Amino acid sequence: MTLERAAVHDLLAEYGALLDGAKYDEWLGLFAAECCYSVIPRENFERGLPVGLMFCDSRAMLEDRIMALREANKYNIHTDRHLIGLPRLRSPEAEQLMVEASFAVFQTDQEGSTRLFATGLYRDRLVSTEGGLKIRDKLVLLDTFAVPTLLATPL
Amino acid sequence: MTLERAAVHDLLAEYGALLDGAKYDEWLGLFAAECCYSVIPRENFERGLPVGLMFCDSRAMLEDRIMALREANKYNIHTDRHLIGLPRLRSPEAEQLMVEASFAVFQTDQEGSTRLFATGLYRDRLVSTEGGLKIRDKLVLLDTFAVPTLLATPL
Amino acid sequence: MTLERAAVHDLLAEYGALLDGAKYDEWLGLFAAECCYSVIPRENFERGLPVGLMFCDSRAMLEDRIMALREANKYNIHTDRHLIGLPRLRSPEAEQLMVEASFAVFQTDQEGSTRLFATGLYRDRLVSTEGGLKIRDKLVLLDTFAVPTLLATPL
């Protein structure tokens, strides 16, 4: 259990650090071979409307999407900073672990202005693999349906 | 000690998650039967002025207050997002534990704007009960005496 | 390993709490006798330009700098609030430990306005001493080269 908690902390810290360092290939490596990644406004999710800003139900799709974002990013150059709160470990089952954590993402533009970009909740299903703990499903519940600018990097 | 630390992390993570999910009854369940909850601007506290924005010295009073807030909330519809920093465990005594943690609360309004609402410090006295670790006293030291809008949900 | 992680959490939590409480002498005590503290915009660091906002390569220099800041602070009275994310423990060697953690600092001025001041990444080299875990080197990588106001307190 304690080992598990340490591994969850490591995975979340790594997740934020790799995105903030723009190391997207390594970031993809945090996901299991079969995985699902989606970004949905909290309001839609609570009403049962699965309309989201991003939905990838395979790792190939996630890789494609990252490539597209990198292209788009040329027109929205910025750096990200993730702050991830204490995780809540829920209903652990054999070889599965549900984890929730609040997050805030701040963006800094080329003029050097740092602004709050988005807040929300990660709801992750983690699986134990030979390569360690990996993300099987990641649901990013955004607090707003109106992200201020283009979603140019994964959250 | 390690078990204790894990329990403190769980309690803080649960605290933020239940408020952000508007699950106020479950949130009340995090407090001990005898408890005290107060919200005081840091400046007042440091000057020894106990004038606060909220003061409840029993769980019945806290329950009453939550009911009133729910009513008030109808005119200030928003969602909260708590980010709680790494806790500092202090002077643990037998069956008592002092915990401090920085927090930031972001609010999202009905137009979808997410803004920083407040920052401050939690100073908690936790007790070990049959139902697990509970909050005996919670002092919310707000960094500002001027919260931008009505304190419509607990911090 | 678990003890080590707990000690890292404690050190980071203490670091933020002492700065936010303006307890600068105790804060200095978190550094090893030989230490280095620097604040560098991330962009400069990545380009190999070591031009920073603050650079102290001895504890005496850090002490001097703190004295000067206290003087400067009389003209920029505010309080700080640090939020430090989950740390990433890297390549632990014998008696050395590399730790990275995202942070956000919020400042509250005398009118009671709380604003985001800066975000960035701590990159710390910690050493085990007789007095416990201490900071040997602290590199504060700021997300922006343009801090909105004078750097009036350490980050």
Q: ipTM score here?
A: 0.90
Q: Is the pLDDT of residue B1 over 50?
A: no
Q: What is the pLDDT of residue A154?
A: 85
Q: What is the pLDDT of residue A94?
A: 65
Q: Is the pLDDT of residue C10 over 70?
A: yes
Compute how many other C-beta atoms are within 10 angstroms of the C-beta atom of residue C27: 21
* Of B101 and C3, the one with more pLDDT: B101
Longest dimension (CA), chain A: 49
**Which residue's structure tokens are 């350490």?**
C154
**Cα–Cα distance between C90 and C126 in angstroms, integer?**
11
Tell me how far the alpha carbon of residue A28 is from its chain's centroid. Answer: 10
Q: What is the pLDDT of residue B100?
A: 96
Tokens of C124: 């710390």
The DSSP annotation for B119-130 comes to EEEEEEEEEEET
- Sorting pLDDT into bands at 50, 70 and 90, what band is C1? very low
**Cα–Cα distance between A34 and A135 in angstroms, integer?**
9
Contact C81 B2 (CB under 8 A): no
Report which DSSP code applies to B147.
Answer: -
* Of B12 and B94, the one with more pLDDT: B12
Contact B145 C115 (CB under 8 A): no
Give yes or no for a contact between A89 and A99, defined as CB atoms under 8 angstroms apart: yes
* Three-state secondary structure call for residue A117: strand
Neighboring chain B residues of C85 at a CB cutoff of 8 Å: 85
Of B2, B118, B145, the CB nearest to C2: B2
Q: What is the pLDDT of residue C91?
A: 65
- Sorting pLDDT into bands at 50, 70 and 90, what band is C140? very high
Q: What is the pLDDT of residue B153?
A: 80
A21 CB-contact burial (10 Å; exposed 0-12 / middle 13-18 / buried 19+):
middle
- Sorting pLDDT into bands at 50, 70 and 90, what band is B40? very high
This prediction has a pTM of 0.93
Q: What is the pLDDT of residue C90?
A: 79
Tokens of C84: 């430090």
User: Could you report the per-residue pLDDT of A125-151, keeping only the tens digit for each?
Assistant: 999 999 899 999 999 999 988 875 667
**Cα–Cα distance between C123 and A56 in angstroms, integer?**
33
Mutate to test the interface with C, among A3, A114, A117 (most CBs of C within 10 A): A114
Q: What is the pLDDT of residue C148?
A: 59
Q: What is the pLDDT of residue C2?
A: 63
Q: What is the pLDDT of residue B94?
A: 65
- Sorting pLDDT into bands at 50, 70 and 90, what band is C49? confident
Distances, alpha carbon C36 to alpha carbons C62, C70, C85, C134, C139, in Å: 8, 20, 22, 12, 8
Q: Is the pLDDT of residue B54 over 90?
A: no
Give yes or no for a contact between A144 and A105, defined as CB atoms under 8 angstroms apart: no
Contact B104 C108 (CB under 8 A): no
Distances, alpha carbon A109 to alpha carbons A20, A79, A113, A115, C144, in Å: 13, 7, 6, 9, 8
Length of chain C as a residue count: 155
Mean pLDDT calculated for residue range C117-135: 94
As a whole number, the mean pLDDT across chain C is 88
* Of B145 and C116, the one with more pLDDT: C116
**Considering only CA atoms, which of A134, A153, A155, A140 is closest in space to residue A31?**
A134
Per-residue pLDDT of chain A (155 residues; tens, 9 = 90+): 466 889 999 999 999 999 999 999 999 999 999 999 999 999 888 888 877 788 899 999 999 988 887 776 676 788 999 999 999 997 666 668 999 999 999 999 988 899 999 999 999 999 999 989 999 999 999 998 887 566 777 89
User: Could you report the per-residue pLDDT of B109-130, keeping only the tens digit for each?
Assistant: 988 899 999 999 999 999 999 9
Mutate to test the interface with B, among A119, A121, A142, A145 (most CBs of B within 10 A): A119
**Considering only CA atoms, which of C86, C82, C83, C102 is closest in space to residue C9?**
C86
- Kindly report each contact of residues B6-11 with a partner whose C-beta sits within 8 Å and lies 24 or more positions away, as own/partner: B6/A1, B6/A2, B6/A5, B7/B132, B7/B133, B8/B87, B8/B89, B8/B97, B8/B99, B8/B126, B8/B133, B9/A5, B9/A86, B9/B87, B10/A88, B10/A89, B10/B133, B11/B126, B11/B133, B11/B134, B11/B135
* Three-state secondary structure call for residue A150: coil
Contact B143/C at CB under 8 A: yes
Chain A from 81 to 140: CB within 8 A of any B CB: 83, 85-89, 100-104, 116, 118-121
**Cα–Cα distance between A149 and C145 in angstroms, integer?**
22
Q: What is the pLDDT of residue C94?
A: 65
